[in-house]
């Protein structure tokens, strides 16, 4: 037990140094530009900077992304810019002290949260960067490109939310959907395999009967997708 003590003491020190370095870099960004572009007061700006440093202590990376947003023409980042910024933040997650965040769940979550706060400092509407919601953005951005080529869509859920949705209710719905997928994953894979196999058999039979170029067989796979 005694051998573990230096590690438990060193990790908070490392985390605090990372937070201080991140906050120092954010403070160096021209606050006059921030105050001109956002409606936040100086205490509110300082509070957001502190929050970013607390949740995403990745050195000067958040300040670098913020500087780029401040120089961006227009008040709404295009999808390509959002992808570039989020990619930079996700890659910079390696700068966070080891053991602080997970790679596949917490890492992306805090990166997206930090980016929304950076958009706020830059005077941009975070919702405009993620018109279908940040979670749907991440599904299309990263999870869709897994080796199995599976995707979990949440567009309908995002569109069904009322304008002033309770954050706790929204988070509970996301957790429930995630648990549902985990518990039913084998069934989902089985259903996917069965449908793909059935489509292949139908396509082969249609080709043998020389009707593959006719409806409904000509667009069968496209319609299924």
In tens, the pLDDT along 94-143 reads 666 554 444 444 567 778 888 888 998 888 888 878 877 777 777 666 65
Whether 162 is in a domain gets the answer no
CA 162 to chain centre: 21
**First CA to last CA across the chain, in angstroms?**
56
Whether 37 is in a domain gets the answer yes
Global model pTM greater than 0.85: no
Among residues 120, 119, 112, the alpha carbon closest in space to that of 136 is found at 112
Predicted pLDDT at 97: 57
Whether 194 is in a domain gets the answer no
Whether 197 is in a domain gets the answer no
Give me the residue label for tokens 């569109």.
159
Predicted pLDDT at 50: 92
Whether 114 is in a domain gets the answer yes
d(CA 75, CA 123): 7
Per-residue pLDDT band for 179 (boundaries 50, 70, 90) equals confident
Whether 65 is in a domain gets the answer yes
Helix extents (H) in 56-184? 61-71, 79-91, 106-121, 126-129, 134-141, 155-160, 167-183
pLDDT, mean over the chain: 77
pLDDT at 189 > cutoff 70: yes
As given in the structure block, the two tokens for residue 14 are 């490392």
Whether 181 is in a domain gets the answer no
Percentage of residues of the chain with pLDDT beyond 90: 7
As given in the structure block, the two tokens for residue 4 are 């573990």
Percentage of residues of the chain with pLDDT beyond 70: 77
Across 176-204, average pLDDT? 84
Per the structure, the count of domains in the chain is 1
Q: Let me know if 103 is exposed, middle or buried by CB neighbors in 10 A (0-12, 13-18, 19+).
A: exposed
For residue range 7-16, what is the model confidence (pLDDT) as tens digits? 444 556 777 8
d(CA 145, CA 63): 29
d(CA 39, CA 17): 30
Whether 76 is in a domain gets the answer yes
Domain holding 93, by residue range, is 1-152
């Amino acid at each position: 037990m005694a051998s573990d003590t230096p590690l438990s003491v060193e990790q908070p020190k490392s985390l605090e140094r990372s937070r201080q370095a991140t906050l120092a870099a954010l403070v160096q960004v021209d606050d006059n530009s921030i105050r001109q572009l956002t409606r936040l007061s100086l205490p509110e700006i300082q509070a957001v900077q502190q929050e970013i440093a607390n949740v995403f202590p990745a050195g000067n990376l958040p300040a670098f992304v913020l500087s780029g947003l401040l120089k961006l023409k227009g008040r709404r980042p295009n999808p390509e810019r959002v992808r570039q910024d989020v990619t930079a933040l996700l890659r910079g997650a390696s700068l966070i002290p080891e053991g602080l965040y997970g790679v596949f769940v917490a890492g992306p979550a805090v990166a997206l949260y930090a980016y929304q706060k950076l958009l706020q400092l830059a005077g941009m509407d975070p919702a405009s960067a993620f018109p279908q919601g940040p979670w749907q953005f991440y599904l299309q951005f990263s999870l869709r490109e897994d080796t199995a080529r599976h995707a979990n869509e949440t567009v309908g859920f995002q569109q069904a939310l009322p304008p002033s949705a309770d954050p706790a209710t929204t988070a509970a719905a996301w957790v429930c959907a995630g648990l549902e997928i985990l518990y039913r994953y084998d069934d989902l894979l089985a259903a996917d395999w069965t449908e793909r196999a059935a489509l292949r058999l139908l396509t082969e039979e249609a080709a043998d009967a020389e009707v593959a170029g006719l409806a409904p067989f000509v667009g069968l796979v496209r319609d299924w997708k």
